[in-house]
A and B are shown apart, each in its own frame.
Chain A
């Protein structure tokens, strides 16, 4: 199955019943398959007039009670930063797939990149937190899409699937488990009558409130302006604004241990670690295996959850090894997070790659050899 196809099938199993998008290379196959599959399962596919509309449409569908998704690439993802903020402040669960291609601007239309990894965290204005997952295989495209919908519903926050051209177009076997073995998180609806429902005031033990749909009778306000617990705009009320912003931030950041997924390979006896994600992690694994054949004690940490960044994981790895190597298809972005989180305990080496091509395993292997010396 192709990566894009696995993503579509995963989203349908997760319960996605609305897709809006605008054609863009290399994410077009997702829209094409969605247009065929959605109406077959009683869902809705809409090709919108642009990406500004696409993201607003999935937020509208989300507030109408549907699980909703869009898919795009760099230029479209840039346009979506506006709507992303609206999803964050109204706490609308949505899933956005960014099939990364080379930038800036129209850039390298058909070639892969990991250049949007910081945009996925910081792209929209203001303070907020994001959940971002990076698939490394067609199987991941299936599994992580389901996971993304679950996280979006659980935390009432947008989730970004940060794929790239290689993973979107790769064809490889995908195992679809029996449906009753797949965990699906459904949206929590209010269990109190409308008079008692406060849309933006969670119980002290929780970070998010249950979410009614438009038309359910709860007279809810999906307010883009900074609002109080009732959804009413607050004007100049510093304390209420601070409360709201901190909750939007901490509901993700304070749950990092629950959200963070990663994979460790050959790390137990290693004194060098390669930290990688997405399609680059495949090349990194090959380089690690070749280095091991040469007797070098090197392991791999594959970040599956990119955001929120799991500082503790990197801090622990850094305390164990003398060097951390970070290959990425950009000029060196996540390496900054790794350097920060390793707190000076290990030497951190960036292996950047730009121009729309994957690293050659030798690019990483030679850095491993250098770090070993």
Chain B
């Protein structure tokens, strides 16, 4: 007979705090896939990179994801992960600091910190897991909720347009940007690898399925498999989106690598230069 440990995934055994598993996510939640995408990236980056990595998260379903990794991790406050991570990075520039945030952490309560982290171009990797609403509190409107969608706080349909996160970050000064869904996990893994290796503020948005709330309330698809199918069918590559009108792109997820620039100086390097100047 197989022991319970034999059921553990090879990545879980290698990288995760299996003693506190099974984890707290709903059946079919996409955050497990996002955890796997991150670990797949580290399988390729190697043990050395993993040993130099720490995680910071905010509050919400996504905030739990990195706590299962066997690394130093800060489960901070709603929206404040980037402020904590910024100081951590400047204090120990040799560490890879990966910040996992959700819709609210990144674009709601934490929006100010997000644009300023991008403006500084500090060498952080932001993994922004979005699912079209606030799930930990039971399915309320988020800055990513589609217009017209019904949630627990938009019973008559959402009247607010949502943020275009990639354009927002581009304007704010981020230097690596990509957006995928949990369906596109190979591409997402490649982007996360690039984001970690990139010197500057890098953000990878991953749209993931929340069958419990987004599935039931917004899409009418409580089965995670149907939601994955929906993510696949409603995603459109950046190159194809260029020829489409805004009307045609409404409710579409435009996926791809948005930005990779190397012409902006990174913040911790600037700090080092400043220190040399001050000591002279």
Q: Does A266 contact B (CB under 8 A)?
A: no
Whole-angstrom CA separation of A151 from B116 in the bound complex: 33
A65 within 8 A of B: yes
Bitwise interface map of A from 204 to 220 toward B, beta carbon under 8 Å scored 1, else 0? 00000000011111111
Residue contact B91 to A219, C-beta cutoff 8 Å? no
The closest CB in chain B to the CB of A49 belongs to B116
Cβ of A53 and Cβ of B92 under 8 Å apart? no
Q: How far is the CA of A66 from the CA of B80 in the complex (A)?
A: 19
Query: Chain B residues near A59 (CB, 8 Å)?
Result: 84, 87
- Give the distance in Å from the alpha carbon of A222 to the alpha carbon of B58 in the complex: 12
> Are A60 and B95 in contact, CB atoms less than 8 angstroms apart?
no
* Contact residue among B17, B83, B275 (Cβ-Cβ distance under 8 Å from A48): B83
Contact partner of A222 (CB less than 8 A), chosen from B51, B73, B271, B274, is B73
Interface size on B, residues (CB 8 A): 39
* B33 within 8 Å of A (CB atoms): no
User: When the two chains form their complex, are residues A56 and B72 in contact, meaning their CB atoms are under 8 A apart?
Assistant: no
Q: Mark A52-63, 1 if CB is under 8 A from B, else 0.
A: 111011111101
Residues of chain B with a CB closer than 8 A to A54's CB: 83
Given known contacts A83-B80, A232-B20, A220 and B87 CB-to-CB distance under 8 angstroms: no
Is there contact, CB below 8 Å, between A56 and B91? no
- B72–A60 contact, CB under 8 A? no
Q: Kindly state whether residue A298 has any CB partner on chain B within 8 Å.
A: no
Q: Is the CB of B112 within 8 A of A50?
A: yes
Distance of A7 Cα from B62 Cα, bound (Å):
40
Q: Quick one: which of A54, A60, A65, A224 has the most chain B CB within 10 A?
A: A60
Residue of B nearest to A38 (CB): B278
Chain A residues near B84: list those with CB within 8 A.
56-57, 59-60, 63
State whether the Cβ of B3 lies closer than 8 Å to any Cβ in chain A: no
Does any Cβ of A come within 8 Å of B113's Cβ?
Answer: yes
B61 to chain A, nearest CB (A): 13
Contacts of A53 in B (CB 8 A): 80, 82-83, 86, 112-113, 116
Specify the main secondary structure of chain A where it touches its partner.
mixed
Task: Write out the residue numbers on chain A whose beta carbons fall within 8 Å of the beta carbon of B279.
Answer: 39-40, 42
Q: Is A64 an interface residue (CB 8 A)?
A: yes
Cβ contact within 8 Å between B52 and A39: no
Contacts of A56 in B (CB 8 A): 76-77, 80, 83-84, 87
Which residue of chain A lies nearest to B69 when distances are taken between CB atoms in the complex? A219
Chain A residues closer than 8 Å to B94, beta-carbon distance? 215
Which chain A residue lies CB-closest to B90?
Answer: A44
A149: Cβ under 8 A from any B Cβ: no
Render A62-85 as a binary contact track against B, CB cut-off 8 A, 1 for contact: 011110100000000000001100
Neighbouring B residues of A68 by C-beta, 8 Å: 87
User: In chain B, residues 15-52, which have Cβ atoms closer than 8 Å to a Cβ of chain A?
Assistant: 17, 20, 51-52
**Is B204 engaged at the interface, CB distance under 8 Å to the other chain?**
no
Q: Does A225 contact B (CB under 8 A)?
A: yes
Q: Are B87 and A215 in contact (CB under 8 A)?
A: no
> B67 to A220, Cβ gap below 8 A?
no
CB distance from A198 to the nearest CB of B (A): 13
- A224/B77 contact (C-beta < 8 A), A20-B87, A46-B87, A60-B83 known: yes
List residues of chain B with CB under 8 Å of any chain A CB: 17, 20, 51-52, 54, 56, 59, 67, 70-77, 79-80, 82-88, 90-92, 94-95, 112-113, 116, 271, 274-275, 277-279
A-B contact pairs, 28 of them (CB 8 A): A39-B275, A53-B80, A56-B83, A56-B84, A57-B86, A57-B87, A60-B84, A60-B86, A61-B88, A61-B91, A63-B74, A63-B84, A63-B88, A65-B91, A66-B91, A82-B77, A82-B80, A86-B80, A214-B95, A215-B52, A215-B54, A215-B92, A215-B94, A220-B72, A221-B75, A223-B67, A224-B76, A233-B67
Q: Which 7 A-B pairs have the closest CB atoms?
A: A60-B87, A64-B91, A39-B278, A56-B83, A53-B83, A60-B84, A57-B87
Chain A interface residues (CB < 8 Å from chain B): 18, 20, 36, 39-40, 42, 44, 46, 48-50, 52-54, 56-61, 63-66, 68, 82-83, 86, 90, 213-225, 232-233
- In the complex, besides A63-B88, A233-B67, 6 extra interface pairs with C-beta distance below 8 angstroms are A56-B83, A58-B87, A215-B52, A219-B70, A222-B73, A224-B77
